[in-house]
Amino acid sequence: MTTQKQLQTLGYWLHHTSALHKRAFATETKKFGLTTEQYGLLLQLRDREKVSQKKLAGLIHKDQATTGKIVEKLEVKGFLKRLPDPSDRRAFQLYISDNGREVLNELIPIAETLETQAWEGITAEEMQLFESIMHRLQDNLYKKNVNEDE
């Protein structure tokens, strides 16, 4: 609408829409006290065992330091366990806990409902195209991140 918006369309849309989604998730799941990031991390652990934090960081597309902080919080809440890696004393082996599975069982339907509501009025074809465009955007942006190491 304004000239300004034109100038930062993609960044504005991605960031703003992402923020709206994050806020909606927070509202819906307030009583569980998990952020979208903690939820996403737990999901990755659900069907995996002995994952190191380094490996997990790759799975959730975050850096190791950030991943470590989120893991720490989930451990304090009792939703995952950090066991020593017998073959590498620097590393942990992460496991989701029973409490973690239980909270996921509550959160997953909420996340799915939110997902459904977010896509309301959007056809399957449109979703597919959206997905395909997102892939290309990610590829293009990923190349920019990788190629230009200072």
Q: Which residues here bind a copy of itself, judged by CB under 8 A?
A: 2-4, 7-25, 27-28, 30, 36, 39-40, 43-44, 46-47, 61, 108, 111-112, 114-115, 117-122, 126, 129-131, 133-134, 136-138, 140-142, 144-145, 148, 150
Instruction: Select from 4, 6, 89, 109 the one that contacts DNA (CB under 7 A).
Output: 89
Asked if residue 136 binds DNA (CB under 7 A), the reply is no
Q: Is 2 helix (H, G, I), strand (E, B) or coil?
A: coil
Asked if 55 and 5 count as a contact pair (C-beta separation under 8 A), the reply is no
Using the rule CB under 7 A, is 37 a contact of DNA? yes
Is position 19 an interface residue for DNA (rule: CB under 7 A)?
Answer: yes
- Candidates 21, 24, 28, 35; binder of DNA (CB under 7 A) is 35
Instruction: Kindly state whether residue 79 participates in binding DNA, applying the rule CB under 7 A.
Output: no
Q: Which residues contact 60 (CB under 8 A, 6 or more apart)?
A: 37, 40, 41, 44, 67
Looking at the Cβ atoms of 88 and 132, the one nearer to a copy of itself is 132
**In 28-148, at which residue ranges do the beta strands (DSSP E only) sit?**
80-85, 88-96
Tokens of 3: 């000239």
CA separation for the pair 128, 134 (Å, rounded): 10
Contact with DNA (CB under 7 A) among 92, 96, 103, 107: 92
The site partner of 92 among DNA, a copy of itself, none (C-beta below 5 to 8 Å per kind) is DNA
- Nearer Cβ to DNA, position 65 or 124? 65
Phi, psi (degrees; rounded to nearest 5) at 90: -85, -25
Cβ–Cβ under 8 Å, residues 57 and 64 = yes
DSSP strands (E only) in 2-149: 80-85, 88-96
Q: Which is closer to DNA, CB of 16 or CB of 101?
A: 16
